[in-house]
Amino acid sequence: MTMIITMIITMTMTTITTMNEKTAFLKVVQALDSLFPIGAFTLSNGMETYVQREIVTDRKSLSEFLRAYLYTLPTNDAGFVAKASMGESPLLLDEIYAAAKSPYELRNGSRNLCRRFIKTEAVTGQYPLLQSYGEEIEKGNAVGSHPVALGLFIRDTGADIEESIALYCYSQLSAMVNHAAKLVPLSQLQGQSALAEMFSEIPYAVNKAMRVETDNLGIGGAGFDLRSMEHEKLYSRIYIS
């Protein structure tokens, strides 16, 4: 009888753990959904300039763009998400992020996304680390960085870090595809085909983001930064950045 009770308790605990893991995963999925109301859909991260300069003009050039962008993520935004989710000081990461993001639009866009993200998540659950970061921002001790906030959110939920970073990389690339489909324009089939090519490369980016040193955050992406700076001076534009 004792053995049976032990088995039942073990099975129950395993089921609860599995349910908690699935719930945490779904919370991250929701936070990275393009429909999550924080305004991420208004940012092109320089894609609009690439299209206007006729650098991204078709499926092939879009694939090249996505591959190059993914290459920079581990030492940039994905790296900040990883470090924050693994326990690095959010105030230190916030300071590095603000210094590393040269284009004003990218800094300002991330700051606004961060504030809206914290405000939105406050009504969906209790996230102490995220709330504490928000308080530091309100006090003026931090600028506000969406990747840092997302990393703290991942810690609060207890979601798997590698899976979460993979989802983050996917969401970033997917947003780029949607922007390109509207701007070039491209068919959704062409865009999704280019996106699918990146699936085999995302795990490498995740692995690199997990191992990146704090001192190396912000390295790379000069071309993307320049295009983002040029975006500020475009005569006509659809996106904020």
Distance CA 114, CA 75 (A): 19
46, 224 Cβ separation under 8 angstroms: yes
What percent of the chain is modeled with pLDDT above 90?
Answer: 70
Q: Which two tokens stand for residue 79?
A: 């790296």
Tell me the domain boundaries of the chain. Answer: 31-231
Q: Assign domain 31-231 to its CATH superfamily.
A: Urease accessory protein UreF (1.10.4190.10)
Give one word for 64, left, alpha or beta, with left for phi > 0 and alpha for psi -120 to 50: alpha
pLDDT at 181: 92
In this prediction the pTM is: 0.90
| Least confident window among 39-48, 75-84, 138-147, 204-213 | 39-48
Q: Which two tokens stand for residue 29?
A: 């999925």
pLDDT at 86: 97
**Torsion angle, alpha carbons of 58, 29, 167, 146, to 10:** 90
Decide if pLDDT at 6 tops 50: no
Decide if pLDDT at 193 tops 80: yes
Q: Which two tokens stand for residue 94?
A: 């916030």
Distance CA 167, CA 10 (A): 31
Q: Which two tokens stand for residue 90?
A: 């959010």
Q: How confident is the model at residue 7 (pLDDT cuts 50, 70, 90)?
A: very low
State pLDDT tens for residues 165-179: 999 999 999 999 999
Distance CA 166, CA 170 (A): 6
How confident is the prediction for the chain on average, in pLDDT?
89
Q: What single-letter DSSP state applies at residue 56?
A: S
